[in-house]
Structure 1
Amino acid sequence: MDKTKKMIAEVFSNIADGIENGTFKKRFKIGLTIYGSEHGINEMIKAAQLSRSKYGDFDIVLIGPKVDCDFEIVEVSNSEEGHRKMISLLEEKKIDGCVTQHFDFPIGISTIGRLVAPGSGKNMIISTTTGTMSTNRVDSMVKNCIGGIAVAKSIGIDNPTVGILNIDGARGAQRALKELQNRGYEINFAQSLRKNGEVLMRGNDILAGTPDIMVCDSLTGNLLIKIFAAYTTGGNYETQGYGYGPGIGENYDKLINIVSRASGAALICEGLKYCAMCAEGKVLHRAKSEFEKAKCAGLEEILIKEKPSDVEQVKMPAKEIVTYAIPGIDILELDNACNVLWRKDIYCESGMGCTGPVILVQSEKGEKAIEILKRAGYK
């Protein structure tokens, strides 16, 4: 008995010392819903076992049927009940985060995934992979960037580099983010590894993992995560990366990380660790803070300027031979940009070059057209 008392006293003494000197770390509890996988419940249990043996610095709570294992289990009878129980456990603070599949987030929330770039082995954040920050494309991509920065900082990347994938809306997002940066919101833009070295990223940059955060829309991000997770297996079994990541929004208060129903044990193992890192890094608090800083820098005002307007009908000047290509105009803005030139009596046509959309004008009018577009805010 005396020996037991001594051991208990030593444990409490160590805890007290850890709290006093700052070395004591809370053990976070991460839930895992085990219904819903295309590979069965045993694959989910295997994922939990892998994560515990590989990391062991957080606890895992299974949400599903009663199974023969040594994990804490919260019993539910199906996937839908599992999601309801997951929400209640999060609200009651009985778990700090949860990994699940096929969860519907409200508008304003999108998930921040992580993949392993095959060209370098580097981890790269994909912002975003499912859900949507906004129903407006440019709005959504700008907010995806802010959410990605919050997640990166929460997992220990203090000054993450940001690249914008060269997709529809990228130019508008770049313009808005540059203005946000100029107004005081800190963004560390990456440079493409391609010869032009601009902020807009190519497919090569995904393979190489050029930026810490790759900003895109959720459908493109969803496709990227799926391809990079399963490209070695043929598609029906995901093995690589960390999944679709935590749902992030300006005021979202539940840490829910998503994996696919096709995800295998090795990926879910890393998804559990990713969730635990986000919990330890207070990712939801970080997100709120980052959005507040962006709003103080004029986020809402900037986004209003980027809202698409109705295309004004302007009389087209007389047709000319056009061979001078002006790149750098987003495809969603081509019609408005053409109208700007037509209004100045410069004939132009929209086109698509090998690097994206272009406006074509007569060679002699190229420099004048560029200057007009610059004044109108398109360059």
Structure 2
Amino acid sequence: MDATKKIVAEVFNEIAEGIKSGSFGKKVRIGLTTFGSEHGVEEMVKAAEMAKGKYGDFDIVLIGPKVEGDFEVVEVKDAEEGHKKMVELLEKKELDGCVTQHFDFPIGVSTVGRIVTPGKGKELIIATTTGTTSTNRVEGMIKNAISGISVAKAVGIKNPTVGILNLDGARGVERALKDLQANGYDFRFADSLRADGGAVMRGNDILAGTPDVMVCDSLTGNLLIKIFASFTTGGDYETVGYGYGPGVGEDYDKLVNIVSRASGAPLICEALRYCSLCAKNDVLSKAKIEFGKAREAGLNDIIGKLLAKEKPVVEEEVKMPPKKVVTFSIPGVDILELENACRALWKEGIYSESGMGCTGPIILVPDDEGEKSIEVLVKAGYK
């Protein structure tokens, strides 16, 4: 009985929200540009037909050549004109969102993709997959995490877990996100399924879908989406998942979801559904709110310190201490900071060497100086 009451309460809440926003009873309108696919216009129309038959709770507007079928069509002569018309319709609010192939987002905006993992059939959000959030890798991944959280909430995950893919810069991203968390930005880290756990994820965690949101740079995310979307078809026809997702940035105001020119109808069908959910739940407003919360928790200061740390400075000459046997291993220092971290230890008279363990970069120091070395690295901001 309690479960029934809860469902009824949720339904009434949704109705109240719909009346308040003026959207009750309205279907969102999602565009689909039909030029540009490597599989032809027919494949795009097939995707629209699949989405209409499978879901039916949003309207689809085709932007392309005139076609047979029960769809509204905005006629254009080619892909370039299709993009111009798409932007015009979005700006006029005649569309709530649009699915398209290849779109030039401004710097600061990148797309948040969504896949289905082959290991356990779990949905996994990849933040991000195309576009450039920042020209600085670590800054970009920090902001990608916030974008990923925004999209996760838009598709119904109220308290998403965040994992950071084990790439160059991952440890710096982890430190920054922990600082944000300590300053009051509320989110949860995922814990790797591997024995040593932690928020930095391995390849195994991608296959299992350990976090709700996997943070990475766009080039890596793009590769992941392509592999997961077409691993059963040989690469030229993407079938699985939801595509490369909506472009998200701090102040971006157009809902544009990306698919590949290699995407097939089954994937594009789900991309249309993904776009409709993002439109219904106003993902771009959610992103503004999340970035606002992050700024209140010191996002700009954290990134400012990060960028200042990376500026070239005139270093005082630091002599390497006399060589010793090094068997104490210190993980958790980012590979991009490894050599500077070693120099910080040399400055304190501690001999150290950099290396690579099975979980990533490590610093090796003498056993009797292990704890002191960790204190030095923490104080210097490398761990």
- TM bucket (normalised to shorter chain) is over 0.9
Picking from 347, 351, 354, the partner of 1:350 is 354
2:239 is the alignment partner of 1:235: no
2:46 is the alignment partner of 1:42: no
CA offset digits 1:184-230 (Å, max 9, x no partner):
11111111111111111111111011111011111111111000000
Identical-residue share of aligned pairs (%): 68
* Alpha-carbon distance in structure 2 between the residues aligned to 1:114 and 1:324: 40
2:338 is the alignment partner of 1:334: yes
2:327 is the alignment partner of 1:323: yes
CA offset digits 1:2-34 (Å, max 9, x no partner):
xxxxxxxxxxxxx9xx94999933200000000
Change in Cα spacing, 1:309 to 1:335, as seen in structure 2 (3 Å) is: farther
Picking from 362, 367, 370, the partner of 1:363 is 367
2:76 is the alignment partner of 1:76: yes
Q: Hey, what does 2:174 align to over in structure 1?
A: 174
* Alpha-carbon distance in structure 1 between the residues aligned to 2:80 and 2:87: 11
* Alpha-carbon distance in structure 2 between the residues aligned to 1:310 and 1:268: 46
Change in Cα spacing, 1:75 to 1:338, as seen in structure 2 (3 Å) is: same
Q: Hey, what does 1:153 align to over in structure 2?
A: 153
| Partner SS, residue 315 of structure 1 | coil
CA offset digits 1:304-354 (Å, max 9, x no partner):
122224363522223333332211100011121111101111121211111
Answer with 1 or 2: which has the greater Rg.
Answer: 1
* Alpha-carbon distance in structure 2 between the residues aligned to 1:22 and 1:72: 24
Alignment of 1:115-130 (within 5 A): 115-130=115-130
* Alpha-carbon distance in structure 1 between the residues aligned to 2:162 and 2:21: 36
Alignment of 1:200-239 (within 5 A): 200-239=200-239
Under a length normalisation based on structure 2, what TM-score does the superposition of the two structures give?
0.92
* Alpha-carbon distance in structure 1 between the residues aligned to 2:133 and 2:22: 37
Change in Cα spacing, 1:334 to 1:97, as seen in structure 2 (3 Å) is: same
* Alpha-carbon distance in structure 2 between the residues aligned to 1:22 and 1:123: 31
Under a length normalisation based on structure 1, what TM-score does the superposition of the two structures give?
0.93
Q: 5+ residue gaps in structure 1? A: 1-14
CA RMSD after TM alignment: 1.7
Corresponding letter in the other structure for 1:167: L
CA offset digits 1:39-79 (Å, max 9, x no partner):
11100000000000000000000001112222111111111
Q: Hey, what does 2:8 align to over in structure 1?
A: none
* Alpha-carbon distance in structure 1 between the residues aligned to 2:371 and 2:294: 35
Corresponding letter in the other structure for 2:355: G
Q: 5+ residue gaps in structure 2? A: 1-14
Corresponding letter in the other structure for 1:165: L
| Partner SS, residue 66 of structure 2 | coil
Q: Hey, what does 1:5 align to over in structure 2?
A: none
Q: Hey, what does 1:10 align to over in structure 2?
A: none
Change in Cα spacing, 1:56 to 1:365, as seen in structure 2 (3 Å) is: same
Corresponding letter in the other structure for 2:193: L
Moved over 6 A (4+): 20-23
* Alpha-carbon distance in structure 2 between the residues aligned to 1:20 and 1:295: 28
Q: Hey, what does 2:4 align to over in structure 1?
A: none
Q: Number of matched residues? A: 363
Q: Hey, what does 2:255 align to over in structure 1?
A: 255
Q: Hey, what does 1:97 align to over in structure 2?
A: 97
| Partner SS, residue 90 of structure 1 | helix
Q: Hey, what does 1:244 align to over in structure 2?
A: 244
Q: Hey, what does 2:55 align to over in structure 1?
A: 55
* Alpha-carbon distance in structure 1 between the residues aligned to 2:231 and 2:323: 49
CA offset digits 1:275-332 (Å, max 9, x no partner):
0000000001111111111101110001112222436352222333333221110001
